Structure 1
Amino acid sequence: MNLVRAELFKIRTTSLWWIMGLILIPLYAASLLLNWASATVPAGETGAPDSQQAQIDAALQPINVATNLYTSGQFMGVLIVLLLCAIIVTSEFFHLTATTTFLVTPRREAVILAKFAAAIVVGLVVWALTTLFNLVFAPIILSALDFGVQLGEPAVWRAIGLNALAFVLWAVLGVGAGVLIRSQIAATLTLAILYTVGTSAVGLVFYLLSEHVARWFEKLQVLIPTAASQLMISGTELPGNPPRWVGAVVLIGYAVVAGGLGTLITKKRDIT
């Protein structure tokens, strides 16, 4: 616990956490407004291909609109968590404190596990913040849409709970990525570009493969981490998509690999 408190203290005593917080607020607001706007599109009038129309119509059902609104901010929220948690590791090398840290605590696996624990706390704090906002604003939007607040639906609370799991798993991924890319600037830029541009690029590749090669490629999009975490929080099973549990398994797999590699590399790598 002392190591975990030390890691949390390092985060609290830098300006980075509140800078990320200030960045998160407008991104969250944009996400909420986008989800609201997408819920106002009349079913069957989106102009989408027939192959996608069934998915869109299902997403416009009240329960799916509700789960989408109550988990607003996930896409950009987990990006903030990913970057913050990578910096938990890279800041040690940026500020040249890694040697001191590992001299004080020679058992390197204890240090990296403490970083994982601190990262999970960071992930849960960001999840709690966005969820609090969602519980305030989503009922207002749902009432304006004449859908009712939907808080009596188990699917809504399941989505909120699985959203917390997604934030935790992305936090673990962030620490693992920070171990692999020790440069703070390189880690921040690489992860931000891969998360935003890379997600869109890979999604486009899967879309083209599903349209021009075989339809089953569409289901492989769940292998994209962002798609996996989005699938986890859907209210109902969407046509053409794998079950929600597949998204959870994929994201857990990425987190386990990142956590295992992060611990192993930290134990073996020379620290200078």
Structure 2
Amino acid sequence: MSDSVTENALGTFLRDRRMRLDPVSFGFPAGRRRTPGLRREEVAQRANISPTWYTWLEQGRGGAPSAHVLDRIARGLMLTDPERDHLHILAFGHPPEPRYRQHEGITPRLQHVLDAMPFSPAIIRTATWDVVAWNKAAAVILTDYAKLPKERRNILRMMFSDERMRAKQDDWHTVARYVVGAFRADAARAGAGVEIRQLVEELSARSPEFKAMWDDNEITSTREGIKRLHHPALGTVDLEFSTFSVEGRSDLNMMVYSPANSEVREQFRSLISSAC
């Protein structure tokens, strides 16, 4: 790769994406075009920027754009979220600031991933800690979320409003504080500050314990650890857990649990199998 191409990676990427687009689908006449895709002035029109400046940007002589302008260009080119991230990395050397966009539900393929772990409780939660998917093992060992109204499938609401959830925890206060700190970190990381405001106000009014923990401003992480749970059929069990980001979905995390010792593993399998 020549030095000129390397130095103008941003312009090369913009030109490549522009040339992949069908002018007719954007309402532009097909006519005679020397090259495929949109013309530079058509991209500039869609992004509401100067055609001359956009041309310079592709040519590597327009100077660094602002993040706001780059987002307008990304929308004009109909870039996917990963492509938008790549555009910012090329321009600034880092991904864009978080922009939280919660989607409804998950894809069937992601549900298949959960179901492929029949004896490991697994859930998918959003950055605002709404549980949007789970497998059979999670319903048996953790909570049967299908029996809850959609608005009640929020881990924070369950932790501070459901006495059954409180009774399941070996040390509720420590677990609750840990959850609040992780919730704060997840929401900030995903840029969901506005989206959590109503939930925080609701829980602060309902639970003095939540308000005190929230006001402490602690930050924790739920990447991995051990959770001690009181289960009605298994007694007190230790569960190892790991948290994984869902590629392409900045609003989602997958939490997978497994018994921390071999003695409980067979009990897990038997209980989950009998419930299927």
* TM-score, reference length from structure 2: 0.29
Structure of greater Rg: 2
Give the helix-richer structure, 1 or 2. Answer: 1
Give the strand-richer structure, 1 or 2. Answer: 2
